[in-house]
Amino acid sequence: MTPPIWTVYNRKYIMQSLTFRALRDVNLKRSKEIFLTCAEWNPRDWACSVAGEVGEACNLIQKRHRGDDIQIKDIGKYMADIVTFVDLLAASLNIDLEQAVIKKFNEVSKRRNSIIFLPE
């Protein structure tokens, strides 16, 4: 028997574990609820959002490298935004991100003679 994915706490639905498919599901729902539907932006719009978040993360990493007091958790927040926007970009292109990651990971493992593969 599969354990439940959601727990209700203080009238909020809390995900118990995160997978690519679960992220896609809640990401699309939340985007529709508080921002816009995935279809209201085109892939270029989503890609620019990804690039913007990557730029913000790189800026913090550069500042940290220079000695500024930049916390890793703050860089992590931008990295989380990057993952979220990459998923919405993939959704706008009808790409199954989980399968794309598995396939690419395994292609590189095979090409580089690694013994580490993801289950397909």
Is residue 9 over pLDDT 70?
no
What is the C-alpha to C-alpha distance for residues 89 and 46, in angstroms, rounded to an integer? 5
List domains and CATH numbers for the chain. Answer: 20-111 (1.10.287.1080)
AA identity, residue 44: R
Alpha-carbon distance 64 to 86, whole Å?
Answer: 25
3-state secondary structure of 18: coil
Residue 30 has pLDDT above 80, yes or no: yes
**pTM confidence score:** 0.84
pLDDT band at 2 (very low <50, low <70, confident <90, very high): very low
Angle made by CA atoms 109, 96, 19, in degrees to the nearest 5: 80
